[in-house]
Amino acid sequence: MEHRRPGRRGDLRRRDRRRAGPRHSQGREEGQEGQAGQGRGQGPRGGGKGSRGRSLRCGVGRGPAHAGPARGAEPRKPGRCAQGKRRHDAAELRGAGRRAGGGAAGRALDGGHQPLRRLPGVGDFLVAFVAADVLLLGLALDLAGRTWLIVPLGLVAVLAIAGYRVRPELALAALLLVLFLVPEALLIALRGASAPVQDSVLLTDAAAGRLLHGGDPYGHDYIDDSALRRFWAPEIPVNPLLAHYPYPPGLILLAAPLRALGLGSAWLWLPALIALALAAYGAAGRAGVMAVALNPLLLIDYLALLNDVFFLAAGLGAVALLRRRRALAAGALLGLALVLKQTAVVLLPALAWLSWREGRWRQLLGAAAAVVVLLLGPFLLMSPGALLADTGSYFYGSGVDAFPIRGAGLPGLLVTAGFLPSRWAAFPAALIQVPVLVLVLLGGWLWLRRRFSWPRLWLWSAVVAAVVFLFGRTLAPNYLTLIVLLVCLAAASAVEDADPAVAAVGGSVDRPPREAGVEGAAG
């Protein structure tokens, strides 16, 4: 008898039958019997519950032709295997955060697995900053002889941190009250508002008094002020500040009403901090309040009555208003910041970029110019030479009548190394500052145009401030504080804007509001 070799199709059938297992043919026969006995349109009912193999119920070993029910068959209910798999997956998700190192099993974009690590959050910044604030405040109260206040203020701070998850805004307000406002008010009351703590405060009081008596605060020698004569800086035997008022007239105008009432301008620091906290909240949310108003470096400057808090409040307020597309009001605050202190120019590039992106740069710059002319104009008409000499030449000139070289900037390092003969030597700061600043401005502008994000904007502002201060004649500690505050704003904005769900799939959260298509996303 002649044997014929089966064709290719028969080989494929036998291979599928072997892969499907011994139940394949039985299941097919049961399906045929069920169709014949119960009519067309009904699924197979043959085979008892115990006769079905676990591999069929779980879908393991089933051939391609039997991947799903036949046409017209009743839908299969999820079996025990599917339910068990769901329970297993849920357990995996619940236990993800309890694994070693806090990592959870996550799927990467290339299909592999990688750990999803927990990044520092806003709460972590809050705990770190408040701990440093309490430590520094304890040292200040110890020097003031009020050590008994350390424990109650620290306990209130701990309670505020504990309540942050429930009422975050109220918790932040409580922290500002117990760590900044109450200690500052206590120190001012103990030492007196006219105590020789900071020469700029005493000079502002004297300039406000001269203005109230009809005199010009610029171009005047304040050597006759007894409080200023008591102030002495160790690195400057002869304080050149006695012969100048080196700030714009904004602080004089703020201090004049208090001077008329017989109060010192030190009391202005209390409402100034409240304004700074509100401005930081509007500019960068709760993270902005932590990064700026609760920053430990700001606490040092605040207790020492350094006047950066005023222009910072106005400048960040301008950013907050621009986020809400209120360009005219933002321009008014920008002009106020420039009239309060020249250092506000470091915020001008960021504000100009934001207004240009929204198409409102004319309103911003126009309102800022109007405020500057309104507040600065009368003093400029009174004695333009004295105003320009005190607020400009004093910082860029040389000789004993100019501001001496101080700090660890480039001129200070040259003095220390012996390349400059003294602190009063001439140094061409503008010849270095201007070219480097132009490169930083152009590079940052293109960087933000390529991809906008608030962390990038604040980081760009920090670089601008670093260029202005590092190459200037002086690098005072409060200038370093300003650079650090801008860097902290960049970090806080990154934490505040981070979206774990978007980051897990590789999306971008740094799109500008126009591209995101959300009205009002910029504020």
Task: Please indicate, yes or no, if residue 80 is contained in any of the structural domains.
Answer: no
On whether both 365 and 287 belong to a single domain, the answer is yes
Q: What pLDDT score does 11 carry?
A: 63
On whether both 297 and 386 belong to a single domain, the answer is yes
Task: Please indicate, yes or no, if residue 511 is contained in any of the structural domains.
Answer: no
Task: Please indicate, yes or no, if residue 48 is contained in any of the structural domains.
Answer: no
Task: Please indicate, yes or no, if residue 9 is contained in any of the structural domains.
Answer: no
Q: Would you write out the chain's pLDDT as a tens digit for each of its 523 residues?
A: 444 555 555 666 666 666 555 544 444 544 444 444 444 444 444 444 444 444 444 444 444 444 444 444 454 555 555 555 555 554 554 444 444 434 444 444 444 545 545 566 778 889 999 999 999 999 988 888 888 888 998 899 999 999 998 999 999 999 999 999 999 999 898 877 666 677 788 889 999 999 999 999 998 888 777 666 666 555 555 666 777 899 999 999 999 999 999 888 999 999 999 999 999 999 999 999 999 999 999 999 999 999 999 999 999 999 999 999 999 999 999 999 999 999 999 999 999 999 998 889 999 999 999 999 999 999 999 989 899 888 887 777 777 677 788 888 898 899 989 898 888 888 888 888 899 999 999 999 999 999 999 999 999 999 999 999 999 888 889 999 999 999 999 998 888 655 333 333 333 333 344 444 333 333 3
Report the distance separating Cα 345 and Cα 437, nearest Å: 12
Report the distance separating Cα 155 and Cα 250, nearest Å: 38
> Residue 130 contacts by C-beta under 8 Å, 6 or more apart in sequence?
157, 160, 161, 175, 179, 294
On whether both 291 and 412 belong to a single domain, the answer is yes
Look at residues 405, 388, 386 and name the one whose alpha carbon lies nearest to residue 240: 405
The string over 158-169, giving b where at least 16 C-beta atoms fall within 10 Å of a residue's C-beta and e elsewhere, is eebbeebeeebe
On whether both 268 and 151 belong to a single domain, the answer is no
Domain termination site, one of 191, 225, 249: 191
Q: How many domains does the chain have?
A: 2
On whether both 139 and 232 belong to a single domain, the answer is no
SS3 for 259-300, per residue?
A: HHCCCCHHHHHHHHHHHHHHHHHHHHHHHHHHHHHCCHHHHH
Domain termination site, one of 172, 191, 210: 191
Q: What pLDDT score does 521 carry?
A: 36
On whether both 256 and 151 belong to a single domain, the answer is no
Three-state DSSP class for residue 202: helix
Task: Please indicate, yes or no, if residue 376 is contained in any of the structural domains.
Answer: yes
On whether both 177 and 270 belong to a single domain, the answer is no
On whether both 183 and 288 belong to a single domain, the answer is no
Domain termination site, one of 143, 158, 191: 191
On whether both 172 and 230 belong to a single domain, the answer is no
Task: Please indicate, yes or no, if residue 1 is contained in any of the structural domains.
Answer: no
Q: What pLDDT score does 1 carry?
A: 46
Q: Point out which residues pair with 104 in neighbouring strands.
A: 116
Q: What pLDDT score does 324 carry?
A: 92
Alpha-carbon 467 to chain mean position:
20
On whether both 226 and 353 belong to a single domain, the answer is yes
Task: Please indicate, yes or no, if residue 460 is contained in any of the structural domains.
Answer: yes
> Residue 46 contacts by C-beta under 8 Å, 6 or more apart in sequence?
29, 30, 31, 33, 34
Report the distance separating Cα 352 and Cα 175, nearest Å: 33
Q: What is the pLDDT of residues 295-336, one digit of tens each?
A: 999 999 999 999 999 999 999 999 999 999 999 999 999 999
On whether both 198 and 185 belong to a single domain, the answer is no
Sign of CA dihedral 89, 92, 97, 101: negative
Task: Please indicate, yes or no, if residue 99 is contained in any of the structural domains.
Answer: no
| Domain assignment of residue 181, given as a range | 119-191
On whether both 150 and 296 belong to a single domain, the answer is no
